[in-house]
Amino acid sequence: MIRFEHVSKQYADGTTAVDDLSFEVNEGELVTLVGPSGCGKTTTMKMVNRLIEPTGGRIFLDGDDISAIDPVQLRRRIGYVIQQVGLFPHKTVLDNTATVPHLLGVKRAEARKRAAELLDLVGLDPKTFGDRYPEQLSGGQRQRVGVARALAADPPVLLMDEPFGAVDPVVRDHLQTEFLRLQQTLGKTVLFVTHDIEEAVRLGDRIAVYGQGRIEQFDTPSAVLGAPATDYVADFVGADRGLKRLSVTPIEEGDLEQPPVVHLDDPLPRDLDAPWAVVLDSDNNLHGWISAEHARAANPGDPGNPGKKDDTVRAHARRMEAWLPVGASLKQAFATMLQHDAGWIAVIDERSEGRFLGVLTPARLHEALRRSTAADARDIARAEVELETVAPLLK
Ligand SMILES: Nc1ncnc2c1ncn2[C@@H]1O[C@H](COP(=O)(O)OP(=O)(O)OP(=O)(O)O)[C@@H](O)[C@H]1O
Ligand SMILES: [Mg+2]
């Protein structure tokens, strides 16, 4: 969708901001550009909508060489969130959001209606915020307006230059979550600049790690974290990259263990060949768990418990607090285990009303992390893959 072919940019004073850059962003893909200040990220971005002209190479949008497209026409196909948000201070939030469609000839009333929908979409109630001016918003709210404005003309391509840069980590986390959810439905082709590696790996389908004016590695988050291509990348992603990989590796069904299972209306199990069993309801949805020891002690067949003939699992099952849907990240799994002080967590399928799929244990979590590296960094030998940072925590 967006293709760079040997693109360079040398400014008039001789600064080489971008040096022989070649990469491609596929349709519907979110690519993050990450690197230190001054490495050429904004320059890369602005060449896509021709705010800056390259001094060498070519850029294609949907197969068309953009140097042959009228810049105004080009920018209609591309939403742009600039580094400092850049809202018009004298316009209300609603009018700011409606600017582009209005410029494109959409009638004012219609543009404002669409703007209200978009504000809603980014989590700002148009009734509350629509008539405010940018200075009457918090930094995070302003950034949302910036995103709404970029989406207003429904462009297939979005350029986002540090759109969540100016807010605290909590708001930033919230904006990232919302944006990911939004992107799942919108499926835009996105080039997203950040200097924050955590943000880059969380949002990107693929990441371009920039050195000075060049891409040092262009790959999936888990490949970049699991197998940095150069010392520079290893340094940039940080020594805790093993931990960071937890957040980009989803739980898959194949990672799960199958413990003994009992149902609510079953008689109390006499001999479980495990310390506990998972308890399911009659639809095979997760209800909770039961400990083997407890089941044995309460068992009607037990000499110490005469007379409790009708005892079923239901009366003795405990509710399960530690569970996650399949597809959640290993980081969430790990956090959930710690939060509930649980040795394992149940994994369910949310799409089928919570059907129980299996359990994730620390050992399986560790294996899943290895699996992700093996799959993503195909030719990398296991020994080269760093898991040391995680392994001790799982013991
Ligand atoms: N108009 C200009 N004239 C000369 N040099 C420029 C110009 N604009 C940018 N540069 C230089 O080009 C290099 C890349 O700048 P760019 O704005 O692309 O960096 P960046 O990666 O976006 O940095 P940041 O993370 O700080 O936003 C820098 O060294 C910068 O000083
Ligand atoms: Mg920049």
- Angle separating helix axes 241-248 and 362-376, nearest 10 degrees: 90
- How much distance in Å is there from the Cα of 393 to the middle of ligand 1? 41
17 pLDDT higher than 50? yes
Ligand nearest to the CA of 195: 1
Q: How confident is the model at residue 65 (pLDDT cuts 50, 70, 90)?
A: very high
Mean pLDDT of 159-176: 82
Pocket test for ligand 1, best of 7, 13, 15 (most atoms within 8 A of CB): 15
- Determine whether the shortest distance from the Cβ of 21 to ligand 1 is under 6 A: no
- Which ligand 1 atom is the nearest neighbour of the CA of 42? 22
Select, from the ranges 21-30, 106-115, 195-204, 231-240, the one with the highest average predicted confidence (pLDDT): 21-30
- Determine whether the shortest distance from the Cβ of 17 to ligand 1 is under 6 A: yes
167 touches 139 (CB < 8 A) = yes
pLDDT, residue 390, reads: 38
Condensed to tens digits (0 to 9), the pLDDT of residues 113-163 reads 989 998 988 888 999 999 999 999 888 888 889 888 888 878 899 999 988
Q: What is the 3-state secondary structure (H, E, C) of 274-291?
A: CCEEEEECCCCEEEEEEE
pLDDT, residue 372, reads: 67
Mean pLDDT of 183-206: 91
For the entire predicted model, the pTM comes to 0.76
Q: How confident is the model at residue 392 (pLDDT cuts 50, 70, 90)?
A: very low
Q: Which residues of 199-231 are buried (b: 16+ CB within 10 A; e: fewer)?
A: bbbbbbebbbbbbebbbbbbbbbbbbbbbbbee
100 pLDDT higher than 70? yes
Give CA–CA dist 23/45, Å, rounded. 13
Q: How confident is the model at residue 261 (pLDDT cuts 50, 70, 90)?
A: very high
Query: Which residue is closest in CA terms to ligand 1's atom 6?
Result: 11
| 302 or 362, greater pLDDT | 362
